[in-house]
Amino acid sequence: MSDNSRGKAMHKLTQRQKAVLEYISDSIHARGYPPTLREIGNHLGIRSTNGVNDHLRALERKGYLTREDMKSRTLRLMKTPDGKPSSRPPAANDNLIEIPIVGRVAAGALSEAIEQPDDTVHIDRMLIGGQRDVFGLRVTGDSMIEAGIYDGDFVFVRKQLTANRGEVIIALVGDEATCKYYYPEREHIRLQPANKDMAPILIPKNDWRSTQILGVVVGVYRRLH
Amino acid sequence: MSDNSRGKAMHKLTQRQKAVLEYISDSIHARGYPPTLREIGNHLGIRSTNGVNDHLRALERKGYLTREDMKSRTLRLMKTPDGKPSSRPPAANDNLIEIPIVGRVAAGALSEAIEQPDDTVHIDRMLIGGQRDVFGLRVTGDSMIEAGIYDGDFVFVRKQLTANRGEVIIALVGDEATCKYYYPEREHIRLQPANKDMAPILIPKNDWRSTQILGVVVGVYRRLH
DNA sequence: GTTCTTCCTGCACAGATGTCCCCTGTAAGA
DNA sequence: TCTTACAGGGGACATCTGTGCAGGAAGAAC
C-alpha cells in the first residue's frame, strides 16, 4: 500500500459524488432526515443500489460523510463539497441569529415592536460579532451619509441603554427613532448627524432619559442594484 | 362520538408522550436523523414496538409530529412539547443562502476561489434579492467611499460576465479584483472609482476580455463598533 | 358498572433497506 | 501493460423496521 495522497490531504470530489452529497444535504434540510440508498439512486437515475453504495463508500473514504452499519438513513455529513466541516444542524443554528426588523419605533414601544416584528432576517453571527439582543431597522433620511449609512439601508442594532462617546446609536427623539453619533457633553447630549448640511440635535441633560437610547449600531447593510 | 375537545384546541401531552417527543428531538439534533420505533422503545424501556407506536399515533393525532407510511426514520417534529411550532430547519433553510467569502481572486481563479473558500457566511435571501451564484469579498481601499463602500466592508457579488452602465462591479484588473463603477465607452472601458481623489482606470477595448467582469455588487455589509 | 384512554407485552408479517457478489466499461497513472 | 479510481447494472439475501392483531392492567369519565 503506497497510499501516497492520504494524510489530511483534501480529497476532491467527482461531479457525481458531489451530486450525491448535495442530494443528501438537500434531503436532510428539506425533510429532516437523510435518504435511503434507493432514494438517492432514484433521484440521480442510478438503478443499482450498489452503484449508489459505491458513491457513498467513496464519500466515506474521503471523509465527507459517515454512516452506521446496517441502519437505514443514518448518513451524517462531515464536510460540504467545499471541504468545510459541515455539522450543519448545529452550525446552521449556532452561527445564525434571527433578527426582528422593526418598522416604527415609538416611545417605550421597542420591546413591543420586537415582539411583533413586521419581518425577520437571519444573520450570520460572524457579521454582527456574536452579539445578542440585536434588532434591525430601516434607515430613513440622509443624516448619516458621511458615515456610509444611506437612506434605505438596514442597520443592525444591539439593544442597550448606554453608549460610548462617538458610537453610532439609535435614539428616540420625540416619537421617532433616529440614527446619529452619540456625544454626551457637559450640559446636553449631542446627537450628531454625519451630514455637513444638518445640524446636531441637542438635548438638555434634564430632558434626557436613559431609555432614549435604544441601542448601538453594530452593522449596516445596503442592497444595491 | 361526542369529541368535545377537538378543533384546533391545544392538546396536552402526557408525561410519557412528552418523553417520547423529547427523545425524538434529541436524536435528531444529536445524530442528525430520527430514531426508529425500536430505538425509542429501547431508550424508554418499552419492549413492544406497538407500545411505541401507540405513543407516536397519539403524538401524530395531537399534531406534534408527522411521519410517512412504511418508511423508516421519517419522523418530523411539528411542535415542541410547549406547543411552539418547531419548523426550525425548513424556515431557516428556505430563506438562507450560503455564500463563500473569497480572499484573493486572481485571473481565472474565481471558481477555484469559490470552491475552496476561506470562509462562508449565511445571508437571508431577502437581503440579496433572491439572487443566485453570489459570493462575498472583503473590500480593500477607499476607492468607493463616495458610494458608501468603505475599507473592510463586505460586498456580495452576483457572478456574471456582463454589467449595465453605472453598476458597481467587481472586475479583474491585472491580477487583482477591484470594485468600481462600470462605464463602457467608445474606445475603452472606464472603471470609475467613487473617490474624487482617484482617477478612473481606462482599459482599451482591445485589451478587454469579457472574463474580466467577475460580477455585480448586490449588497454591502459593514461591521461597526 | 361501562366505556374510554393511556401504556404496555408479545408476536407475526410484509415491505424497506443495507450489504455483498459478480459483471461491464472508461479513463488516468505508473 | 497493469493497476487504480470511477460509474454503473443486476440480483440475492439478511436484517431492519413499520404495521397490525390479540390481549392486559390501571385509572378517569360517564
Q: What is the pLDDT of residues A101-118, one digit of tens each?
A: 776 554 445 555 555 555
Q: Do the domain assignments include residue B91?
A: no
Residues B111 and B180 in one domain: yes
Q: Do the domain assignments include residue A89?
A: no
C-alpha cell at A46: 442510478
Q: Do the domain assignments include residue B167?
A: yes
Q: Is a pLDDT exceeding 70 seen at residue A2?
A: no
Q: B180 catalytic, yes or no?
A: yes
Q: Do the domain assignments include residue B84?
A: no
Q: Do the domain assignments include residue A84?
A: no
Nearest CA in chain A to B129: A223
Q: What's the first-to-final CA gap in chain A, in angstroms? A: 56
Beta-carbon contacts of residue B18 (< 8 Å; ≥ 6 apart): B81
What pLDDT is attached to residue B2? 32
Q: Which of A183, A198, A199, A195 is nearest to A146 (CA)?
A: A195
Domain boundaries, position B7: 3-77
Residues A15 and A42 in one domain: yes
Rounded Cα–Cα distance for residues B190 and B92 (Å): 41
C-alpha cell at B68: 410517512
* Torsion sign across C-alpha atoms B114, A87, B96, A111: negative
Of B33, B116, B223, nearest to A73 by CB-CB distance is B33
Identify the H or E element spanning A125.
helix A125-128
Residues B108 and B213 in one domain: yes
Q: Which residues of B touch A66 (CB under 8 A)?
A: none
Residues A197 and A164 in one domain: yes
Nearest CA in chain A to B116: A82
Q: What is the mean pLDDT of chain A?
A: 79
Question: Dmax over Cα atoms in chain B, in whole Å?
Answer: 84
Q: Do the domain assignments include residue A83?
A: no
Alpha helix (H) residue ranges in chain B: 15-31, 37-44, 49-61, 88-94, 110-115, 125-128
What pLDDT is attached to residue B78? 82
Q: Is a pLDDT exceeding 70 seen at residue A150?
A: yes
Which nucleotide lies closest to A70 by the C1' atom and the CA atom? C18
Residues B70 and B128 in one domain: no
What pLDDT is attached to residue A5? 34
Kindly give the confidence (pLDDT) of every residue in chain B, 225 residues in length, as a single tens digit, with 9 standing for 90 and above: 333 333 334 567 888 898 899 889 888 887 888 999 988 998 888 989 999 998 998 888 888 888 888 889 989 888 777 766 665 444 444 566 777 777 655 444 555 555 555 567 878 877 887 666 788 888 888 889 999 999 989 999 888 878 889 999 998 887 678 899 999 898 888 999 999 999 999 988 888 765 578 888 999 999 987
Residue A187 CB burial class (10 angstroms; 0-12, 13-18, ≥19):
exposed
Contact B73 A29 (CB under 8 A): no
Residues B30 and B107 in one domain: no
Q: What's the first-to-final CA gap in chain B, in angstroms? A: 64
What pLDDT is attached to residue A62? 85
What pLDDT is attached to residue A22? 84
What Cα–Cα distance (Å) separates residue A199 from each residue in A49, A150, A153, A216, B83?
Answer: 72, 17, 21, 21, 51
Q: Do the domain assignments include residue A86?
A: no
Residues B115 and B211 in one domain: yes
**Domain total of chain A:** 2
Looking at residues A139-159, what average pLDDT do you find?
Answer: 90
* SS3 readout for A2-14: CCCCCCCCCCCCC
Which of the residues A14, A33, A38, A158 would you substitute to probe the B interface, choosing the one with the greatest number of B C-beta atoms within 10 Å? A33
Residues A68 and A19 in one domain: yes
Of B34, B88, B129, nearest to A223 by CB-CB distance is B129
Residues B34 and B117 in one domain: no
- What CATH number did the domain enclosing A31 receive? 1.10.10.10
- What CATH number did the domain enclosing B161 receive? 2.10.109.10
* Distance C30 C1' – A74 CA (angstroms): 38
Q: A180 catalytic, yes or no?
A: yes
Least trusted range by pLDDT, from A13-22, A121-130, B50-59, B146-155: A121-130
Q: Which residues of A touch B77 (CB under 8 A)?
A: 32
What pLDDT is attached to residue A71? 87
Which nucleotide lies closest to A48 by the C1' atom and the CA atom? D9
Domain end: A77, A104, A137, which one? A77
Query: Within a 13 Å sphere around the CA of A184, how many CA atoms are in the beta-carbon half?
Result: 11
Q: Do the domain assignments include residue B58?
A: yes
Contact A171, A157 (CB under 8 A): no
- B217 CA to centre of own chain: 18
Q: Which of B61, B199, B74, B217 is nearest to B143 (CA)?
A: B199
* Total-model pTM: 0.58
Looking at the C1' of nucleotide C16, which residue has the nearest alpha carbon?
A: B71
What pLDDT is attached to residue A148? 93
Q: Which residues of B touch A220 (CB under 8 A)?
A: 220-222, 224
Residues B139 and B46 in one domain: no
What pLDDT is attached to residue B107? 47
From the candidates B12, B27, B180, B210, give the one annotated as an active-site residue. Answer: B180
Q: Is a pLDDT exceeding 50 seen at residue A4?
A: no
From the candidates A25, A72, A180, A205, give the one annotated as an active-site residue. Answer: A180
Residues B71 and B101 in one domain: no
Looking at residues A42-66, what average pLDDT do you find?
Answer: 87
Smallest CA–CA distance, residue A4 to chain B, in Å, is: 22
Residues A134 and A165 in one domain: yes
Domain end: B77, B105, B125, which one? B77
Domain end: A47, A77, A107, which one? A77
